Amino acid sequence: MRKFVVWGDNALARRLVGELINTYSAQVTVIVPDLAAGQAREIADIRADDDPLSRPVLIAAHKVTRAVFETADLTDADAIAFVDTDDVANVDAALIAREVDPTIRVVLRMFNTRLGAGVVERLSNCAVLSASEIAAPAFVAAALGDSNPTTIRLSDGQQLMAVDRALANPGDIRCGLAITALGESLPADEGLADLVLTSVYGRRDLEPRRRRRRHPMRLSRLLIGGGLRRILASIVAVLALGTVAVATVRHVGVWKAMYLAVLTALGGANPQDDASVPSQAVDLVLVVVGVAVIPAITAAVVGIVIKARLAIAAGGLTEPVADHVVVVGLGNVGTRVLQELHDLGIDVVAVDRDERARGVQVGRDLGLPVIIGDVTNPDTLTSASVATARCLVVVTTADVTNLEAALLGRDLCRRADPEAKLRVVLRLFEEEFAQRIKTAFDIDLSRSMSYLAAPAFAASMVGSEVIDTIPVGRRVLLVAEVPVGAGSQLEGHYFRGVSEPGLVRLVAVQTGRAGLGVGVQTFWAPEQNTWRTLDRTHTMVVVATRAGLVALLERAAGVENPPPFHPPSAPPLLTPQPRG
């Protein structure tokens, strides 16, 4: 039985432990800060359906030390995963673990991909994964509602893309992935799949989008807002009436009447004893109006300028927007989502209640409007122009807050347009809760970051090279490169015998593994090569479910002291015989 150690007590740790126990039938030891806090109690209750003794072993430790890892029997484990949300804490704990066991496989959760790349270079047998990076494409695809393509890069530099069949070039399709309406993955009849995997040749997106260009006079539009416009209109109306009155009582032309009216109202007037009573009355009215108007104008201009400068400094909206995406919650997942939407050319308005949230500065650096406020307050969502948004993505870490924000956003949109229905994507942890939300509130676009990321972390712990994941609803398909082990069950078997409907789809076979002195070659559509067989120089590129990948890894696992392998020769080619 495989043995694993997991450090962390968050949602991802809980999902990962469940994945290791239920999918890989492993024995798991979990190190948590407190047995009575966080996710510790829920983790302790995890067990396989058919084995009540499969519960994980929990160890409480506020600080990671060599003694803690020795207590966890680290030297007897196959791998250890560090899934805390703090990158530095994960790296520090991994280094301590390596002091205890220099050869153990280490899987690190890290948001900072640059730091992660540096760690991989220094630590052998180490994998670095970003849970938010794995999960973000699923939220983006749900937000856009157009099967937003997911790009996958293989180890040899070639690219694949998961995309809607209607957007794909038929000649580039490598396999069918899912019938999304039925939630069926890797169907037996690939022609029915509407989500397909295609080859990509130097392009990332099939339909580049144009980001909305900012209005060149956006600051002027903000300064001369509705309130100031109304004040200016009132002043103009008063001066116009004054002009008419002066022209009438003094019998002068329009220009001279306007000249006298403006100077009298705004600059004061000299007493005229010999003027007629109507003329003096007009002067008095204009002076009184001027005394009242000048402070009002000053106060309005100062207030509007201060408001505008504060809005610009905070990065909030400075002009009305529409057809944008509102992202609420700027933690790890929210930050990744707004970055991907921005890269796709989609207008984004970001919202978080905490000025110190990770994504606040990221959004401002990208030039995106960032609003700091409580998302359960209608004014916050109103200031984000949620009523005219194409989608509201709520990805805070609290399910209740996410649901409350979603319902509030829909209500504000309905008030602005009774016929409109705001598209909402929620981050929800519990699967059963998500189903109840779907039934009760007609919100079927929910995703769980930990549910999307846990399969990739678990597969990495067992040594599988998971390249990427493809979101299909609340679940994912794993894209992996699986080497054929020497003496494995697959060695000598035909390419066409690898795929299993609903579990595994063989996409390509790569030859010439590093160090074997064999030229590199990639066989696409390998199942069409009816006579070719697998050998220990091959690496399979597959798309699989979690269960499918587990079964494939068992079939591809090598044995100790494998016998020599002699691949069968190719069928003889018919060659023309010489005449005579």
| Residue 290 belongs to domain with CATH number | 1.10.287
**105 located within any domain:** yes
Identify whether residues 333 and 296 lie together within a single domain.
no
Q: Tell me, what amino acid is at 356?
A: R
**Per-residue pLDDT, 280:** 57
The reply to whether 305 and 330 lie within a common domain is no
Residues 270 and 366 in one domain: no
In a domain, 559, yes or no: no
- In order of 257, 344, 409, 537, 571, the CA distances from 518 in angstroms are 97, 40, 59, 8, 21
Number of compact structural domains in the chain? 3
Are both 374 and 281 inside the same structural domain?
Answer: no
Domain end residue (candidates: 291, 314, 337)? 314
Residues 38 and 13 placed together within one structural domain of the fold: yes
Domain boundary among the residues 289, 314, 339 is at 314
Q: Which of 447, 480, 504 is the last residue of a domain?
A: 447
**pLDDT score of 462:** 84
The answer on 388 and 348 residing in a single domain is yes
- pLDDT score at 516: 47
Same domain membership, residue 293 and residue 226? yes
pLDDT of residue 413: 92
Write down the pLDDT at residue 107.
Answer: 94
Q: What are phi and psi of 10, to 5 degrees?
A: -100, -175
10 in a structural domain: yes
Range of the domain at 352: 325-447
Question: Would 504 be classed as within a structural domain?
Answer: no
Same domain? For 294 and 347 the reply is no
Same domain, residue pair 338 and 438:
yes
Instruction: Please indicate, yes or no, whether residues 304 and 344 belong to a single structural domain of this protein.
Output: no
**Within a domain: 409:** yes
What tokens does 239 get?
A: 């001066």
Question: Does 493 map to a domain?
Answer: no
Q: Is residue 178 part of a domain?
A: no
Residue 51: give its domain's CATH number: 3.40.50.720
In 86-225, which residue ranges form alpha helices assigned H by DSSP? 87-100, 113-122, 131-144, 218-223
Q: Are residues 2 and 125 in the same domain?
A: yes
Residue 292 has a CB neighbour count (10 Å cut-off) of 12
Residue 2 confidence (pLDDT) = 87
Answer yes or no: do 271 and 331 share one domain: no
In a domain, 224, yes or no: yes
Q: Is the pTM of this model over 0.75?
A: no
Task: Output the tens digit of pLDDT for each of the chain's 580 residues.
Answer: 789 999 999 999 999 999 999 888 899 999 999 998 888 999 999 987 767 678 899 999 988 899 999 999 999 999 999 999 899 999 999 999 999 999 999 999 999 888 888 888 888 889 899 999 888 888 988 888 755 567 777 776 778 888 888 888 888 888 899 888 887 889 988 889 988 888 877 544 444 444 555 544 444 554 555 556 676 677 778 778 878 887 887 787 887 777 677 666 666 556 454 556 676 566 656 666 666 666 766 776 676 666 655 555 555 565 678 889 999 999 999 999 999 999 888 999 999 999 999 999 999 899 889 999 999 999 899 989 999 999 999 999 898 999 999 999 999 999 988 888 899 999 988 777 888 888 888 887 888 888 888 988 998 898 777 788 887 877 788 888 888 989 999 998 888 889 999 999 999 898 875 444 445 678 887 877 777 889 888 889 999 998 898 889 889 988 888 888 766 655 554 445 454 4
In angstroms, the CA 76 to CA 482 distance is: 25
Half-sphere exposure (Cβ direction) of 97: Cα atoms closer than 13 Å: 32
pLDDT of residue 207: 45
